[in-house]
Amino acid sequence: MAASATPLPTLTTKELTSDQEVRWCPGCGDYSILAQMRKALTTVGVPREKLAFVSGIGCSSRFPYYMNTYGFHTIHGRAPTFATGLRLANPDLQVWVVTGDGDGLSIGGNHLIHALRRNVDIKVLLFNNEIYGLTKGQYSPASRVGTSSKTSPGGSFETPVRPLSLALAAEATFVARTIDVDVQHMVATFQKAAAHKGSAFVEIYQNCKIFNDGVFEYATDKSVKAENVLYLEHGKPMLFGKDRSKGIRMSGLKPEVVTVGKDCGLDDILTHDEAAEDPTLAYLLSRFAHDETPNVANPFPEPVGVYRSVRKPTYEEQLEARITEAAAKKGKGKIEDLFKAEDVWTVAE
């Protein structure tokens, strides 16, 4: 008789809620993200003592206070680095990084890139509201051209960072986007990130009610959302629009928006493959941006969902293999031997 599987530990959202008063502005998208994260973690089968949240600085970075798990509120932009050390020293932990577009893409940009390229088994949530909220409304690395803020009264003229393009270029093995008001999609995306072995990067469109209200209205307003958002589904054609008659087709090396039945047949529409080893198509999708130019012909929708999910050796797996290999050749070393090695000398008094 086959042994029955060990049941996964279960949690409730109440058990994941700390006793700290939540201090975000009324109407902030962070509330929804917090609630959906608690829901997602009730299903992933990880006990509370095996969960840790690490944050940097910013509105989003208050997140660990509100989770009844281990948590670390660290310094500006360094959350991925703290998380890397935490994960390596405690391989049984599931480690989540919470950061914002200012914290993660400006001062922390370099730390983020290298955590992703190493494929450290951590989950990064980037709250993107395209503004610095905690410091009262300066434009951020993700602010789009023309953003008027306290530090760009004439409108930002800098080219913004596209977080998903950055993550894909850094070879992240799991890359996804979701939206703060799309609660079911957000829960499902967090669950997929939790199940991924390796670095997972999730961009969340998060509304800042005070300093950048409505910046993602094109993707949240029900009257226009279907025309502006493409939901990626693995193995299915890339269709969007109210009647799902529009799709993405390749014309040579360039993608284009076409109408099924008018410009082409369904077989001509690209099929989404999140498991594709080559990230080129995922990168092309990450370049789709909402265009507010009036009367633009065939505008691209912005894709949400999982862009890429591939399995590669994690940093931890490779490091452990290297340690095992060295120990097999030279035996287990002692820290005392390291300190007394030939390259150590005594400074004369």
Whole-prediction pTM = 0.93
Tell me: pLDDT of 66 over 60: yes
Cβ atoms of 140 and 131 closer than 8 Å: yes
Q: What are phi and psi of 86, to 5 degrees?
A: -65, -45
Tell me: pLDDT of 162 over 50: yes
- In this prediction, residues 261-286 reach a mean pLDDT of 97
Give per-residue pLDDT as tens, 118-146.
999 999 999 999 999 999 999 999 999 99
In this prediction, residue 211 carries a pLDDT of 95
- Nearest CA to 129 among 225, 223, 32? 32
Measure the CA–CA gap between 327 and 131, rounded to whole angstroms.
49
- Residue 316 CA, distance from chain mean position: 20
Report which of residues 117 and 294 the model is more confident about.
117
- In this prediction, residues 226-249 reach a mean pLDDT of 97
Q: What is the DSSP letter of 64?
A: G
- Residue 27 CA, distance from chain mean position: 22
Sign of CA dihedral 17, 206, 51, 47: positive
Q: What percent of the chain has pLDDT over 70?
A: 97
In this prediction, residue 149 carries a pLDDT of 93
List the CATH code of the domain at 13-234+273-315.
3.40.50.970
In this prediction, residue 298 carries a pLDDT of 87
- Nearest CA to 111 among 65, 170, 64? 170
Domain ranges of the chain: 13-234+273-315, 236-272
Query: Sorting pLDDT into bands at 50, 70 and 90, what band is 1?
Result: very low
Query: Sorting pLDDT into bands at 50, 70 and 90, what band is 4?
Result: low
- What is the rounded average pLDDT for all residues in the chain? 94
Cβ atoms of 114 and 85 closer than 8 Å: no
User: Residue written as tokens 């208050």?
Assistant: 62
Task: Put the strands of the sheet holding 254-259 in their side by side order.
Answer: 239-240, 246-251, 254-259
Give per-residue pLDDT as tens, 280-336.
999 999 999 998 887 788 899 999 999 999 999 999 999 999 999 999 998 988 888
- In this prediction, residues 215-227 reach a mean pLDDT of 96
- In this prediction, residues 13-18 reach a mean pLDDT of 96
What token pair was written down for 237?
Answer: 């054609």
Measure the CA–CA gap between 102 and 57, rounded to whole angstroms.
9
- In this prediction, residues 209-233 reach a mean pLDDT of 96
3 state DSSP class of 178: strand
In this prediction, residue 148 carries a pLDDT of 93
Amino acid 19 reads D
Cβ atoms of 173 and 153 closer than 8 Å: no
Q: Which residues contact 19 (CB under 8 A, 6 or more apart)?
A: 68
Tell me: pLDDT of 72 over 80: yes
- In this prediction, residues 254-269 reach a mean pLDDT of 96
In this prediction, residue 297 carries a pLDDT of 84
- In this prediction, residues 199-211 reach a mean pLDDT of 97
Amino acid 227 reads E
